[in-house]
Amino acid sequence: MENKKELRNWLDAFGLDHPLVIAGPCSAETEEQVLKIAHQLKDSDATVFRAGIWKPRTRPGNFEGVGALGLKWMQRAKEETGMLTTTEVANANHVELALKHDIDILWIGARTTVSPFIVQDIADALKGTDKPVLIKNPVNPDLALWLGAVERFYTADVNNLGVIHRGFSTYEKTRYRNNPEWQVAVDLQNRFPDLPLILDPSHIAGRRDIIFELSQTALDLNYDGLMIETHHNPDKAWSDAAQQITPETLIKYTEDLRIRKEVGEAAEFKNKINTLRTQIDVVDHQLIEMLGKRMTIADAIGQLKKDHNVAVLQSKRWNEILGKMILQGEEKNLSEEFILRVFKAIHQESINHQEKIINN
């Protein structure tokens, strides 16, 4: 990554690069593991070392973290490598311990951001300190809940804030462990343009092969940084093994990632248009996903029609759909002509799918 842009707010004060790269294991496992990974990251673009000390697990019985003991290992990693450190805090006691062990940046986990009571307790425990806090999005795609957590910290006079986009859980299993729903983060960015926005591609992906492309999309959307889970032996990690990458891979990725940020004259126009174009790409991608989903349902209907010997074309049903879509389109300022053209094309594709099923 080259082409660093001017820094802003507390990232400046900490002398942190743009984009800010945070890397390190999902969990601190042993002192050797923490030190080994930190040393492997020492000369990379990552300037902040992450490790989970207390691990909130959705289901009990998984590794729940080494606890306060690991904070000493983090301190040692900082002394030996000069990297800053960050860990997740989920209650006032964690805050006290993390402060005592000189952790540089705290982050609030996705399962904590959903709870205004706990967020308030943590904000109160940090009242008036200048400790930077990164707030992960809540597990559900609720922008108000995310903003509410940010506001609780500001109100407690904790002002060095940033947000981490780690995706949103869905019942239906998709390509992602946590669906990115980029629009939620883009909306937040538009509302608070000065709040550093960091992508956590690891928890969005849940697998290592799409970490790079997610990171590139974030940079194209003008994010301020990345937090990437990194482990010297990912497959043997005690938590989130499938999504961790080696420090070596991280170094390769940061070399290959491109910041498309323009500088100089006409830069403002170009940067804005690049960000907007990436937003369009994200929506186009969602359109294809949705069309694919619609065809899968059409296939199931085709199968049912075949089993019950019903004709493919059902004109009455089709006219009802069209009428509804034209009305809904009007609300979104889409012309009747456009809706007719789009839905005729979609309908034709559904018919083709169903005919294939019936004739097979």
In the complex, which residues of this chain contact Mn ion (CB under 5 A)?
26, 240
Contact region for ligand PEP (CB under 6 A) — 109-117, 211-219, 263-271, 340-348?
109-117
The verdict on 26 binding ligand PEP (CB under 6 A) reads: yes
Closer Cβ to ligand PEP, 34 or 339, answer by number: 34
Q: Could you write out the DSSP letters of every residue in 138-197?
A: PSS--HHHHHHHHHHHHHTT---EEEEE--B--SS--SSSSB--HHHHHHHHHH-TTS-E
Binding to ligand PEP by CB under 6 A, coded x per residue (else -) over 133-152, reads ---x----------------
The verdict on 110 binding ligand PEP (CB under 6 A) reads: yes
- Least separation, in Å, of the C-beta of 208 and Mn ion? 13
User: Residue 85: how many CB atoms within 10 A of its CB?
Assistant: 26
Contact region for ligand PEP (CB under 6 A) — 106-114, 116-124, 126-134, 296-304?
106-114
Contact yes or no for 133/157 (Cβ under 8 A): no
Which residue shows structure tokens 């743009």?
18
For the chain, helix (H) and strand (E) counts, in that order, are: 14, 8
- Least separation, in Å, of the C-beta of 229 and Mn ion? 6
Residue from 325, 349, 347, 344 nearest 335 by CA: 325
Residue from 131, 126, 125 nearest 161 by CA: 131
Binding to ligand PEP by CB under 6 A, coded x per residue (else -) over 166-195, reads x-----------------------------
Binding site partner of 234, from ligand PEP, Mn ion, none, Cβ cut-off 5-8 A by kind: none
The verdict on 94 binding ligand PEP (CB under 6 A) reads: no
Contact region for ligand PEP (CB under 6 A) — 4-12, 105-113, 125-133, 169-177?
105-113
Contact yes or no for 56/74 (Cβ under 8 A): no
- Out of 19, 65, 109, 329, which residue is the one contacting ligand PEP (CB under 6 A)? 109
Contact yes or no for 22/46 (Cβ under 8 A): yes
- Out of 19, 24, 52, 225, which residue is the one contacting ligand PEP (CB under 6 A)? 52
Binding site partner of 94, from ligand PEP, Mn ion, none, Cβ cut-off 5-8 A by kind: none
Closer Cβ to ligand PEP, 22 or 257, answer by number: 22
Closer Cβ to ligand PEP, 165 or 261, answer by number: 165
Contact region for ligand PEP (CB under 6 A) — 103-111, 187-195, 301-309, 329-337?
103-111
Binding site partner of 109, from ligand PEP, Mn ion, none, Cβ cut-off 5-8 A by kind: ligand PEP
Q: How far apart are CA 104 and CA 22, in angstroms?
A: 12
Which two tokens mark 18? Answer: 């743009």
The verdict on 203 binding ligand PEP (CB under 6 A) reads: yes
Q: How far apart are CA 200 and CA 48, in angstroms?
A: 14
Q: CA torsion, points 337, 341, 346, 348, in degrees to nearest 10?
A: 130
Which two tokens mark 184? Answer: 């939620």
Which residue shows structure tokens 């993390």?
98
Binding site partner of 18, from Mn ion, ligand PEP, none, Cβ cut-off 5-8 A by kind: none
Residue from 338, 354, 347 nearest 291 by CA: 347
Measured from each CB, the residue nearest to ligand PEP is 109
Residues forming the site for ligand PEP (CB under 6 A)? 26, 52, 56, 109-111, 136, 166, 203
